[in-house]
Amino acid sequence: MSIRELRNKGGEVVDRVARGERLTITRSGKPVAELGPLRADALPGSVLLERWHRLPRLDPERLRRDIDTSLDARL
């Protein structure tokens, strides 16, 4: 996107970025900047632990057997 397009369509550009799109800004056809959405804030540890406790239990030995049964051993 050229600097001219950015200036003339600033609101539309911000809307696109807010939806997750990353844009490269050019000057005379050469990239000079990137415009992208801000990263989401990190989740607090208490939220991560609460989510972790809701995950299903996993039996590593059973998982290994399932993988060995499902995949071709030659891979």
H helices present in the chain, as ranges: 3-8, 10-18, 45-53, 60-70
Answer whether 51's CB lies under 8 Å from 37's CB. no
Q: Are 6 and 25 in contact (CB under 8 A)?
A: yes
- Tell me the average pLDDT of the chain: 91
**Quick one: pLDDT at residue 40?**
81
Assessment of whether the complete model's pTM goes beyond 0.85: no
What's residue 72's pLDDT? Answer: 80
Residue 72: enclosing H or E segment and its boundaries? none
Work out the average pLDDT over 3-17. 93
pLDDT tens-digit map of 28-69:
999 999 999 988 888 899 999 999 999 999 999 999 999 988
Q: Are 30 and 40 in contact (CB under 8 A)?
A: no
